[in-house]
Amino acid sequence: MKVLGIMGSPRVGGNSDILLDEALAGASTAGAAVEKIILDRKKIAGCHDCKKCNETGICVIKDDMLEIHMKILDADAIIHSVPVYFWSMTAQMKAYLDRWCAFFDAQWRWQKNYYPKMKGKRIGLITVCGDQNVHTADPIVHSFKSTAEMTKLFWIGAVMASASDKGDIIKDETARKQAFELGKKTVA
């Protein structure tokens, strides 16, 4: 069992990163091998909507996303963690998610050679916002949950937390425990 953590915050050691580490610790405790990718340390261009990937399943943009695609295909579960930036996900996470287009054909069906590797894959999400109302992150949850539903991935849920200053989430034992349990769900 392999669990891939995708960190969409540019703030390494920040609240999204801390909760992702908690989730990956939960997965590891449950027996999974874990790996974390920090998107801000990768070169990922936005989708050009050239549609060439619809035919080949390979994006024509030469950057780090091809390597990440391979890790996604190899993983049994993926946990994404992202802060809220202006009521949405970060630019890093959005560029990454948009580049999932390469997994699909022109009718938004899985590419035939990817379907066996994506079928039943578990997907979860962690959001952190500075607003006390964690539902400020609802648009991000909607985006990931809708992606899971459209693609028939297994949605394991979302952890939604509130914290502003770097490291504040350490004080939120409930959010840390929820993230740990989300990680355990990737293996269950």
9 phi and psi angles, rounded to 5 deg: -95, 140
Confidence of residue 70 (pLDDT cuts 50, 70, 90): very high
3 with 79: CB under 8 angstroms? yes
Token output for 31: 């027996």
Name which of 92, 103, 35, 38 is nearest 66 in CA terms: 103
Q: Collapsing DSSP states into helix, strand and coil, what is residue 117?
A: helix
Amino acid at 143: S
112 phi and psi angles, rounded to 5 deg: -55, -40
Residue 109 has pLDDT above 90, yes or no: no
pLDDT computed for residue 166 by the predictor: 95
92 with 40: CB under 8 angstroms? yes
Q: Domain tally for the chain? A: 1
Mean pLDDT of the chain: 95
> Helix axis angle, 91-98 relative to 138-151, nearest 10°?
10
Q: Provide the β-strand partners of residue 158.
A: 125
pLDDT computed for residue 127 by the predictor: 98
**Average of pLDDT values for 110-126?**
93
Handedness of CA 101, 103, 107, 110 (dihedral sign): negative
d(Cα 47, Cα 44) in Å, to the nearest integer?
Answer: 9
d(Cα 9, Cα 39) in Å, to the nearest integer?
Answer: 7
**Average of pLDDT values for 80-102?**
96
Question: Which runs of consecutive H residues, i.e. helices, occur in the chain?
Answer: 15-29, 52-56, 65-74, 91-98, 115-118, 138-151, 173-185
Nearest-10 Cα torsion for 22, 88, 148, 154: 20
**Average of pLDDT values for 84-106?**
94
Residue 83 has pLDDT above 90, yes or no: yes
Token output for 120: 């039943």
CATH number at residue 97: 3.40.50.360
pTM beyond 0.85: the answer is: yes
Residue 55 has pLDDT above 90, yes or no: no
- Please give the residue range of the domain that contains residue 171: 2-185
